[in-house]
């Protein structure tokens, strides 16, 4: 759907501003915008950057078709502006951190440079995709972090907000999940998909055992039985064991049982003993039902013998923090630095064209991120954006530049990363993030600072606007 009407997947005011720029003769004005977010989600210590692949896939063919043009005509837009949109093509430059990167608040993650119309008009699209996918990828990362080597699957499509469920499934894979039940996302993004049965399957048969046997007959290599439709321990698990024995006689095996209700810690322990007593040590136990990272941690702390976690609602809705407050702010107009001034100092933006440098400890772990003007070379120190007394020495530390070109003159500079590539990159970067930033309770605050020269430019603009 997005790809059909990319030009009007936006807020109305983006288009009115674009027309205003055009009619006032400003279409050749140049601008630079930064995308960043102000607060880490879930009271956590990091965020997983996601959505870049989907954004670039849309921007590479960003045009206004006849249907869109005619619709905008009915909304009062002028013919001369609509004629401009007919031949509209992106010619901007976009620099971004890699999809799957571990990122932090108040750090420019995407930089868009071009004429004022094109840089303005893609704002809503960019925010819609990056904010949502980064949020879900971060939630997925937290789930996988606590689950460790145990599998975590996305079961969230039925509880997601419309078509957002497709992007949510992709983002969950980038964040580290092992697979999804979402068949559409599997086709669209090449994800590993899997699934079992619902209670309705069991209820549709005259008895539970027949339901299990029928399913096993048709899916002997991938039999996972839902055992809590009637009585989990007295009926469901014993019937699953009967089917396991029948499969064994045929040279196949029961893959797993699934619990979807009740006391999951208690039931999984009892079910494990029943299975083990019959020699079915390899049959896994999967669980679902309103899981999140805190419940998974609780289950594992209780030594619940669970092998697979299916997470739905609280993943795809980012249940406890349902929006990432990402923003898109103008930092330069016609090569002159600019910023937004606010009575809240934390909302004062950083001016001019900037770069982001990541510094590393000797062991390769993340040390700090420094934001500086694009022309600046090696920095000696970085300063806290609002408390200059807080300084961090970065001279002599190994470093890398995070913002890399992904689009130049409207053309992609490389192939768009797929979900599995971004997921692998995320896994490797998470290894470089020290444990104190990953803990759920009061995580350590990662150092993000600005250069002295950038601070001086910012303060000078603030001072000039206060006179």
Give the pLDDT score at 341: 87
How far is CA 302 from its chain centroid?
A: 30
Q: What is the pLDDT of residue 344?
A: 78
Please return the burial class of 305, using the count of CB atoms within 10 Å of its CB with bins 0-12, 13-18 and 19+: middle
State mean pLDDT over 190-209: 96
Is pLDDT at 5 greater than 90 in this prediction?
no
Q: Please report how the helices 293-301 and 123-147 are oriented relative to each other, as an axis angle in degrees rounded to 10.
A: 0
Of the ranges 179-193, 348-362, 375-389, which one carries the lowest mean pLDDT score?
375-389
Whole-number percent of the chain with pLDDT over 90:
94
Categorize the per-residue pLDDT at 467 as very low, low, confident or very high, splitting at 50, 70 and 90: low
Give yes or no for residue 398 having a pLDDT over 60: yes
Burial of 162 (0-12, 13-18, 19+ CB in 10 A): exposed
E strand spans, 61-207: 93-96, 102-103, 110-115, 151-154, 179-180
Q: How many helices (H) and strands (E) does the chain have?
A: 16, 21
In 385-439, beta strands by DSSP E: 391-393, 398-401, 404-408, 411-412
Predicted confidence (pLDDT) at residue 174 exceeds the cutoff of 80: yes
Q: Residues 7-59: pLDDT tens digits?
A: 999 999 999 999 999 999 999 999 999 999 999 999 999 999 999 999 999 99
What are the pLDDT digits (tens) for 278-324? 999 999 999 999 999 999 999 999 999 999 999 999 999 999 999 99
pLDDT at 207 over 90: yes
Counting every residue written for the chain, the total comes to 467
Task: Check whether 114 has a pLDDT greater than 60.
Answer: yes
395 and 368 Cβ atoms separated by less than 8 Å: no
What pLDDT is recorded for position 343? 77
> What is the layout of strands, in order, in the sheet containing 447-450?
391-393, 381-383, 447-450, 366-373, 354-360, 398-401
pLDDT tens digits for range 249-262: 999 999 999 999 99
- Rounded to whole angstroms, what are the CA distances from 341 to 44, 194, 462? 27, 50, 7
Residue 39 to residues 42, 47, 292: CA-CA distances in angstroms? 9, 10, 21
What's the whole-number mean pLDDT along residues 186-192?
96
3-state secondary structure of 187: helix
Q: What is the mean pLDDT of residues 404-414?
A: 97
Query: Does position 1 have pLDDT exceeding 60, yes or no?
Result: no
Average pLDDT value for the chain:
96
Taken in order of first residue, the domains within the chain and their CATH numbers are 6-136+324-352+402-440+453-466 (3.20.140.10), 148-316 (3.20.20.70)
pLDDT for position 167? 96
Render 231-283 in DSSP notation, one character per residue.
-IIIIIHHHHHHHHHHHHHTT----EEEE-SS-HHHHHHHHHHHHHHTT-TT-
């Amino acid at each position: 759907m997005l790809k059909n009407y990319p030009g009007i997947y936006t807020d109305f005011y983006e288009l009115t501003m674009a027309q205003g720029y055009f009619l006032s003769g400003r279409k050749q004005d140049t601008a630079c915008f930064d995308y960043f977010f102000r607060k880490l989600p879930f009271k956590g210590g990091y965020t997983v950057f996601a959505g870049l692949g989907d954004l670039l896939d849309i921007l590479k063919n960003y045009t206004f078709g006849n249907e869109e043009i005619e619709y905008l005509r009915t909304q009062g837009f002028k013919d001369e502006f609509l004629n401009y949109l007919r031949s509209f093509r992106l010619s901007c430059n976009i620099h971004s951190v890699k999809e799957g990167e571990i990122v932090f608040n108040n750090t420019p993650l995407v930089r868009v440079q071009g004429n004022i119309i094109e840089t303005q008009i893609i704002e809503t699209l960019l925010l819609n995709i990056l904010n949502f996918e980064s949020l879900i990828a971060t939630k997925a990362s937290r789930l996988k972090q606590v689950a460790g080597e145990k599998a975590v699957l996305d079961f969230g499509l039925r509880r997601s907000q419309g078509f957002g469920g497709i992007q949510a499934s992709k983002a969950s894979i980038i964040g580290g999940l092992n697979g999804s039940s979402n068949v559409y996302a599997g086709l669209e993004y090449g994800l590993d998909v899997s699934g079992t049965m619902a209670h309705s399957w069991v209820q549709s048969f005259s008895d539970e055992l027949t339901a299990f046997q029928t399913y096993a007959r048709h899916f002997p290599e991938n039999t996972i039985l839902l055992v809590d439709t009637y009585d989990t321990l007295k009926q469901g698990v014993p019937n699953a064991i009967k089917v396991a024995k029948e499969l064994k006689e045929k040279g196949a095996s029961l893959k797993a049982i699934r619990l979807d209700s009740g006391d999951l810690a208690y039931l999984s322990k009892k079910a494990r003993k029943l299975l083990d007593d019959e020699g079915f040590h390899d049959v896994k136990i999967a669980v679902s039902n309103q899981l999140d990272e805190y419940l998974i941690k609780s289950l594992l702390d209780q030594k619940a013998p669970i092998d697979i976690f299916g997470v739905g609602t609280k993943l795809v809705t980012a249940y406890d923090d349902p929006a990432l407050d990402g923003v898109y702010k103008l930092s330069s107009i016609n090569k002159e630095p600019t910023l937004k001034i606010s009575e809240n100092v934390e909302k004062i933006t950083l001016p001019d064209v900037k770069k982001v440098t990541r510094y590393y400890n000797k062991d390769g772990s993340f040390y700090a991120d420094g934001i500086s003007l694009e022309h600046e070379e090696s920095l000696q120190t970085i300063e806290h954006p609002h408390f200059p007394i807080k300084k961090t020495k970065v001279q002599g530390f190994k470093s890398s530049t995070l913002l890399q070109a992904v689009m130049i003159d409207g053309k992609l500079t490389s192939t768009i990363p797929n979900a599995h590539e971004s997921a692998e990159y995320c896994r490797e970067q998470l290894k470089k993030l020290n444990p104190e930033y990953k803990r759920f309770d009061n995580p350590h605050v990662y150092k993000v600072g600005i250069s002295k020269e950038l601070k001086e430019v910012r303060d000078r603009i603030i001072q000039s606007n206060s006179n």
